[in-house]
């Protein structure tokens, strides 16, 4: 093993780079891999088939399958701001998960990890083989983070730290360097609290600290590329990208501090009636360099149409009628649902299913 002070110097450098937490663990197989396998077997991953491939599962089961030379794993956490109340103004604004208010962490954190790696190599005097990820690799990062002492996996499946809450992003660096592991975070501080379970509008939180992704608003508004199931649409409210509800009600987030300003200070979504009529160019300009671009225009407008339907505001009908002529069938179908939703009070309905070349 390298001297313990090397690990402390690495941690101190990570704090200087904006990582609020840092811990080291071994590349041993994750303790909760069997939970992951059961989750897949039950189909709770939905359309995220990449999680269930044989190669992906082998690598998640053993970090050495990713990097045989790995001797230790450095786990890092970067804070983002907690959600704020929506600004008042004309029209209902859509809600975007607070991690996505600013720059895309997939583009921000790699540069910080690369700088940290350069520092590590300077300290040891030679190159160090490595692999790094930030929600991009086939590893069970919350499992590794708990084992590295970063926090515990809460009932809402988020990793929670007693002094920093859960508003942070995880990153991992696999190192060909024998750093001493930190003690795992052994205490479960959720206790008897069930606020997250009770607050979830779609009942997606499962008893074994996993979620049924097919019912999770974050999955439905980001990962799902097709139609949102009709029976869930009215439970989504005005969330147009991701969801923060289970974190917003968590008592431990009372202690969450300031987030990294690069990830944004305020919800960038505009009133829903403006969003649903965005052109492709407007979407690209508005969300370039942010996580929201992952939903693509068709997904984002699908979500905003659902949000408008859930407002029940008849003033939204003109823009929804216009959306019935959108180039994307997915947008047209959800606009049609929204119109029906708003008109239900008066018994006025449209055909709820849109064909590719239909007209109202």
Catalytic residue among 28, 62, 104, 135: 135
CA neighbor of 208 nearest in space, from 160, 272, 156, 140: 156
CA pair distance 53, 252, nearest whole angstrom: 35
Which helix H or strand E contains 285, and what residues bound it? helix 280-287
CA pair distance 320, 277, nearest whole angstrom: 8
What number of other Cβ atoms are within 10 A of residue 346's Cβ?
A: 8
CA neighbor of 121 nearest in space, from 189, 202, 176, 51: 176
Cβ-Cβ contacts under 8 Å for 11 (sequence gap 6 or more): 22
Beta bridge partner(s), residue 77: 21, 170
Write the DSSP string, 10-71: HHHHHHHTT-SEEEEE--SPPTTHHHHHHHHHTTTTTT-GGGGSHHHHHHHH-GGGT-TT--
- Contact predicate 23/182, CB 8 Å: yes
**Tokens 């917003």 identify what position?**
248
Tokens for 211, please give them. 């979620």
Distance of alpha carbon 44 from the chain centroid: 16
Active site residue 135: yes
Residue 44 backbone dihedrals phi, psi, to 5 degrees: -75, -5
CA neighbor of 342 nearest in space, from 303, 315, 302: 315
Which helix H or strand E contains 131, and what residues bound it? strand 130-133
**Tokens 């992003």 identify what position?**
169
CA pair distance 167, 197, nearest whole angstrom: 18
Annotated active-site positions, please?
135
């Amino acid at each position: 093993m390298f001297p313990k002070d090397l690990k402390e110097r690495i941690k101190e450098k990570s704090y200087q780079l904006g990582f609020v937490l840092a811990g080291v663990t071994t590349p041993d197989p994750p303790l909760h891999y069997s939970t992951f396998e059961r989750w897949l077997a039950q189909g709770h991953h939905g359309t995220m088939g990449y999680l269930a491939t044989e190669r992906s599962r082998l690598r998640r089961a053993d970090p050495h399958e990713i990097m045989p030379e790995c001797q230790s794993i450095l786990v890092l956490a970067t804070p983002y701001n907690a959600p704020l109340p929506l600004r008042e103004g004309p029209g209902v604004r859509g809600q975007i998960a607070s991690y996505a208010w600013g720059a895309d962490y997939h583009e921000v954190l790699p540069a910080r990890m690369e700088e940290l790696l350069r520092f590590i190599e300077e300290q040891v005097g030679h190159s160090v083989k490595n692999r790094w990820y930030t929600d991009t690799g086939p590893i069970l990062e919350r499992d590794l983070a708990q084992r590295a002492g970063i926090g515990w996996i809460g009932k809402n499946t988020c990793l929670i730290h007693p002094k920093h809450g859960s508003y942070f992003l995880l990153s991992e660096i696999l190192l060909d360097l024998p750093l001493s592991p930190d003690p795992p975070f052994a205490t479960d501080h959720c206790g008897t609290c069930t606020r997250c379970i009770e607050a979830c509008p779609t009942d997606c939180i499962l008893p074994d600290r996993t979620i049924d992704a097919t019912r999770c608003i974050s999955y439905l508004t980001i990962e799902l590329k097709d139609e949102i199931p009709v029976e869930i649409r009215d439970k989504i409210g005005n969330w147009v990208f991701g969801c923060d509800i289970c974190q917003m009600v968590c008592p431990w987030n009372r202690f969450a501090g300031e987030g990294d300003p690069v990830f944004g200070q305020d919800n960038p979504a505009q009133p829903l009636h403006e969003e649903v009529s965005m052109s492709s160019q407007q979407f690209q300009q508005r969300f370039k360099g942010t996580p929201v671009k992952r939903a693509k225009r068709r997904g984002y407008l699908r979500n905003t149409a659902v949000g408008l339907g859930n407002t029940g505001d008849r003033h939204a009908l003109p823009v929804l009628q216009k959306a019935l002529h959108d180039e994307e069938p997915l947008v047209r179908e959800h606009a049609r649902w929204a119109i029906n939703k708003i008109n239900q009070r008066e018994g006025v309905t449209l055909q709820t299913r849109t064909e590719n070349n239909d007209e109202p």
